[in-house]
Chains A and B, each alone.
Chain A
Amino acid sequence: MSGDLLVIDRVIKRFGGLKAVGGDAGLSFSVPRGAFLGLIGPNGAGKSTTFNLISGVLKPDSGSVTLDGHNLSLAGAAKIASYGLGRTFQTPRAFPSLTVLENVTVGCDNRGETIASVALGRWRSAERELREKAREVLDRVGLSDRVDDSVGNLSGGELRMLEVARQLVRDPRILLLDEPTAGVDPTLQTKLSKILVDLHAEGCTLVVVEHNLHFLMQIADSIVVLQNGELLSQGSPQAIKSDEKVIAAYLGSEHAT
């Protein structure tokens, strides 16, 4: 059970002629099984686009993405999710016509989602377990008293945690989080950091995009730095903090150690 879980190989994505990811040679990096990878870089570096390319929201113009031996360039976003990949979006996405609890239970795969299971009424017992699990997850992310609320009543930070909860309930093998602390208060950030550390300890592979380096550097075990869609540097948090190129391009001098 070792080796690379996710391999990004010479991936290039252009938007109307402008290179968003990959430059000329293409972007390549890999995520070992069980890694906790931080993905950082200046605004517009291509971090979110990279997530979109991995999760199938976007297809690369060239190059390939491989998840545990599955070639993702042939799969749709839903298929990729079913391989055990979870992701959140930089702008939180909730389902407005579902309650907070339903926004989480909907994350669980397809047990009751075939016509046959509805016709036979087979989903009820699985659904009870699922609700239990969803409540636990909501409790973990600090939303236990909002269970029956409409998502329209949630704040920006709460929506972000809701999206995390929806992914957690699915028990992903690899989870991509796009700026999970943006707009989240310090108490909740501490909670989130603990959740991620626990999740990692349970064997989930994590890739986290963050501008909050204080948060990220404490929990990630390696960092990939992007700039203009290309790999600028890669290494341990300590090595990255003292990397001249990274300091010049992104960190600024006060982060240097």
Chain B
Amino acid sequence: MSQILLSILTFGCLFSVLTLSLNLQYARGGMINFGIVAYFAAGAYAYAIFTQEPPKGLDQYLFGFGAPWWVGFLAAAVASMLFAIITGWPTLRLRGEYLALTTFAFAEMLHSVLLNERRIGNGSVGLSNIERPEIGWMGIPEGYVYAGAAIILMLGTALVFRRLLASPYGRAVDAVRDDETAAQAIGKDVARLRFQVFVISAVPIGLAGALYAMITTLVSPDLFTAEVTFFVWMALVLGGERTILGVVLGTLALVGFQEIVRAIPYESVRTAQLAKSVEVMLTGVIFILVLRWQPFEALGRRSKKA
């Protein structure tokens, strides 16, 4: 039981980083990113490539640098940032649904490159020689250290975003989202602000990718499908935009629900299939209820006032 709580906490906080970043892009920046998984994957693969040993035997990948974990994290931040620069530059002038479609397309492109180009990450097999530092740190079990790392990453992301948004910078970002024309009439460089928000918010996503790779010690294309993107969007909708606490609670709830359902033991394949359908239906029902009453958003609001 404590095992499941620990993994809810770890992955809940880890995915909260993604939801927080999406919240910055969407609720504050007014940008719809339907390719969020790509920045996550970029971070995870960068961590894997930089920390793994050089290829040998059946490995088809070209690069492995055997670097320590913190180099992997740096590489992950840079990789997701670069991917955001490359994908953001041509697309951020696009409005609403067009941006959603192009970000989705970019993510699908990255996915198919990772799947088909074996020299990057062994294609569909993925990379599994990922550095996992020795962290029986001060006698604390590994699981707790990872949970702690996820919490720290989440809190750090929340704090940095908060600091950014509580400044005149955040005010300008809000103005641009509210009314571009009026914002330009007071000298706000709309393209610059949107681009910066997009790139800044990609960095924590990349770091979360690195931590994810470190914890699972495996990256492969089928871990980074559009399902991850939709999962994060669901968490954002559940938590209600705009409040940081709401966003985190929404993500924790969604991760918790999935982990609990996964932990139920089944006697046969048939019951497992049944359970899977029930899970999907339950997700739908809970979703409708939450959207109707928005409990997490309300909680977040109350805590903001206090």
Instruction: Enumerate chain A interface residues (CB-CB to B < 8 A).
Output: 55-57, 76-78, 81-82, 86-87, 89, 93-98, 102, 105-107, 109-115, 117-118, 123, 127, 166-167, 170
Contacts and interface: CB of A to CB of B under 8 A. Distances in A.
23 contacts: A56-B184, A57-B185, A81-B184, A82-B187, A93-B181, A93-B182, A95-B175, A95-B183, A97-B177, A98-B174, A98-B178, A105-B168, A105-B171, A106-B186, A112-B168, A112-B169, A113-B188, A117-B169, A118-B164, A123-B167, A127-B168, A167-B185, A170-B186
Contacts of A167: 185-186
B276 interface: no
Contacts of A82: 187
Contacts of B196: 115
A78 B189 contact: yes
Interface in B148-170: 163-164, 167-169
Interface of B: 163-164, 167-169, 171-172, 174-175, 177-179, 181-190, 196, 200
B172 A113 contact: yes
Contacts of A109: 186-187
Contacts of A93: 179, 181-182, 185
B185 A115 contact: no
Nearest to B165: A118
Given A93-B182, A97-B174, A97-B178, 16 more contacts: A55-B185, A77-B181, A78-B189, A82-B187, A89-B185, A95-B174, A98-B171, A105-B168, A105-B171, A106-B171, A106-B172, A113-B169, A118-B163, A118-B169, A123-B167, A127-B168
A87 B169 contact: no
B186 A166 contact: yes
Contacts of B181: 57, 77, 89, 93
Contact of A81 (B171, B175, B178, B186): B186
B186 A107 contact: yes
Contact of A95 (B169, B178, B184, B190): B178
B185 A87 contact: yes
A112 B177 CA distance: 18
A55 B238 CA distance: 42
A203 to B, nearest CB: 20
B24 to A, nearest CB: 13
Contacts of B175: 95, 98, 106
B280 to A, nearest CB: 36
A81 B187 contact: yes
Contacts of A98: 171, 174-175, 178
A185 to B, nearest CB: 24
A-B pairs with lowest CB-CB distance, top 8: A112-B168, A77-B184, A93-B182, A81-B187, A95-B178, A78-B184, A82-B187, A118-B167
A114 B184 CA distance: 16
Given A95-B175, A98-B178, A81 B185 contact: yes
A76 B185 CA distance: 10
B159 to A, nearest CB: 13
A110 B182 contact: no
B171 A110 contact: no
Nearest to B242: A97
A114 B164 CA distance: 10
Nearest to A56: B184
A209 to B, nearest CB: 15
Contacts of A110: 172, 187
Nearest to A87: B185
B5 to A, nearest CB: 36
Contacts of A57: 181, 184-185
Nearest to B196: A115
Most buried by A among B172, B182, B183: B182
A14 B182 CA distance: 23
A7 B260 CA distance: 70
A223 B168 CA distance: 39
B70 to A, nearest CB: 21
Contacts of B177: 97
A25 to B, nearest CB: 29
A89 B179 CA distance: 12
A76 B190 CA distance: 10
A123 B184 CA distance: 21
Contacts of A87: 185
A81 B185 CA distance: 6
A154 B200 CA distance: 35
Contacts of B200: 115
Contacts of A107: 186
Given A55-B185, A77-B184, A87-B185, A112 B167 contact: yes
A166 to B, nearest CB: 6
